C-alpha cells in the first residue's frame, strides 16, 4: 500500500461536502462531541496548570490513567470508572507529597513509574489486550458510546462549575501564594482541590487522546494562550478556543486519513504553540 497517495483518500476538498461526510456516521458525531467537551475542559484546567507550573504533576496524573483503565479492564469494570478512580487517587497521592521541590519531583516521578508498572502488570495479566495497549496509551476516537459522551459532559460541567466557583481565589493563590495566604485565602485546600480537578480533566481527556497524549490538549493550548495574553479571562477563552480548533481539525484529518488522531492533535497543538512563541 502506497502511503503518500492514500493519506487523504476520502477528502474531496469541498468543505461543505467534507463536513457533511464527517458527520455521516454516528461514531464520528460522538467523537466530535466528546472531543469538544474534552477540549473545553482541558483548555480551562490546563490554563491554571500552566500558570501554577504543575505540568509534571499533570503528566503524572495522565500516566496514572493508564493503570486505572487497564485495571478496570482486568476487573471487568467500565473503563471510565478506572480512569476517574485512578486519577483521583493519583491526585490525592500527589497532594500528600511534602513541599521541597527537588524531592517532590523525584517522588512524582516514582509515582508515575510505579503507576505505569502496575498498568503493564494488569495488561499482561489480562492477556490478549496487546492491541488495546496502544489504544489506552495513544487514544482512539472510534467506538465512543453515547453513554461515554454523557459521562464526559457531566464530569466537565461539574469540574468547570467548581473551577468557576473557586477561580478567583485560585488565581490569587497561583500568582502569589504567600500574599494570598496572608490575605486569608485557604491556599492548601485550593491546591488539593485543584489537583483533584486536574485529575478529573486528565481522566476525561485521556479517554480520547490516550494517556500519553493528554498533554497536547492540556499544556499546548494553555501555553500558547499565556504567550499571547497575560489577562486571565482572555487567556482562558483563548486556551479553550485553541483546544477546540486543534481537536476538531485533528479528528477531521484523522477521519480522512490512515494515521492516528493522536498524531494530528499533538502536531496541531505543537504548531499552535510554536506560532504563539513567534507571534510575540
Q: Is 42 in the site for other proteins (CB under 8 A)?
A: no
Minimum CB distance to other proteins, residue 132 (Å) = 8
Closer residue to other proteins, CB minimum distance, 151 or 266 = 266
Give the x-and-dash track for 154-193 against other proteins (CB under 8 A). ----------------------------------------
3-state SS, the chain, equals CCCCCCCCCCCCCCHHHHHHHHCCCHHHHHHHHHHHHHHHHHHHHHHHHHHCCCHHHHHHHHHHHHHHHHHHHHHCCCHHHHHHHHHHHHHHHHHCCCCCHHHHHHHHHHHHHHHHHHHHHHHHHHCCCHHHHHHHHHCCCCCCCHHHHHHHHHHHHHHHHHHHHHHHHHHHHHHCHHHHHHCCCCHHHHHHHHHHHHHHHHHHHHHHHCCCCHHHHHCHHHHHHHHHCCCHHHHHHHHHHHHHHHHHHHHHHHHCCCCCHHHHHHHHHHHHHHHHHHHC
Q: Of the candidates 18, 29, 78, 138, which one interacts with other proteins according to CB under 8 A?
A: 138
Q: Of the candidates 105, 181, 191, 229, which one interacts with other proteins according to CB under 8 A?
A: 105
Minimum CB distance to other proteins, residue 56 (Å) = 5
Q: Of the candidates 76, 98, 128, 184, which one interacts with other proteins according to CB under 8 A?
A: 98
Residues contributing to the site for other proteins (CB under 8 A):
1, 3, 50, 53, 55-56, 58-59, 63, 92-93, 95-98, 101-103, 105-110, 112-114, 116-118, 120-121, 123-125, 130-131, 133-134, 137-138, 210, 212-213, 215-216, 219-220, 223, 258-260, 262-267, 269-270, 273
Amino acid at each position: 500500500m502506497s502511503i503518500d497517495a492514500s493519506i487523504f483518500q476520502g477528502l474531496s476538498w469541498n468543505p461543505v461536502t467534507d463536513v457533511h461526510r464527517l458527520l455521516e456516521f454516528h461514531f464520528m458525531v460522538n467523537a466530535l462531541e466528546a472531543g469538544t467537551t474534552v477540549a473545553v475542559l482541558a483548555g480551562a484546567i490546563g490554563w491554571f496548570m500552566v500558570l501554577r507550573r504543575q505540568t509534571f504533576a499533570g503528566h503524572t496524573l495522565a500516566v496514572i490513567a493508564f493503570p486505572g483503565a487497564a485495571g478496570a479492564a482486568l476487573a471487568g469494570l467500565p473503563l471510565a470508572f478506572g480512569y476517574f478512580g485512578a486519577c483521583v487517587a493519583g491526585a490525592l497521592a500527589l497532594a500528600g507529597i511534602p513541599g521541597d521541590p527537588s524531592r517532590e519531583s523525584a517522588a512524582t516521578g516514582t509515582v508515575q513509574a510505579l503507576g505505569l508498572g502496575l498498568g503493564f502488570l494488569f495488561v499482561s495479566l489480562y492477556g490478549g489486550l496487546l492491541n488495546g495497549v496502544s489504544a489506552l496509551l495513544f487514544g482512539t476516537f472510534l467506538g465512543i458510546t453515547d453513554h461515554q459522551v454523557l459521562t464526559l459532559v457531566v464530569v466537565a460541567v461539574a469540574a468547570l462549575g467548581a473551577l468557576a466557583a473557586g477561580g478567583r481565589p485560585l488565581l490569587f493563590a497561583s500568582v502569589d501564594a504567600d500574599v494570598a495566604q496572608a490575605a486569608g485565602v485557604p491556599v492548601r485546600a485550593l491546591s488539593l482541590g485543584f489537583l483533584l480537578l486536574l485529575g478529573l480533566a486528565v481522566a476525561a481527556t485521556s479517554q480520547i487522546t490516550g494517556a500519553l497524549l493528554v498533554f497536547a490538549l492540556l499544556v499546548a493550548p494553555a501555553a500558547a494562550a499565556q504567550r499571547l495574553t497575560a489577562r486571565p479571562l482572555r487567556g482562558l477563552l483563548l486556551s479553550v478556543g485553541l483546544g477546540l480548533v486543534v481537536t476538531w481539525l485533528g479528528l477531521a484529518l484523522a477521519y480522512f486519513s490512515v494515521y492516528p488522531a493522536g498524531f494530528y492533535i499533538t502536531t496541531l497543538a505543537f504548531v499552535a504553540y510554536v506560532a504563539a512563541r513567534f507571534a510575540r
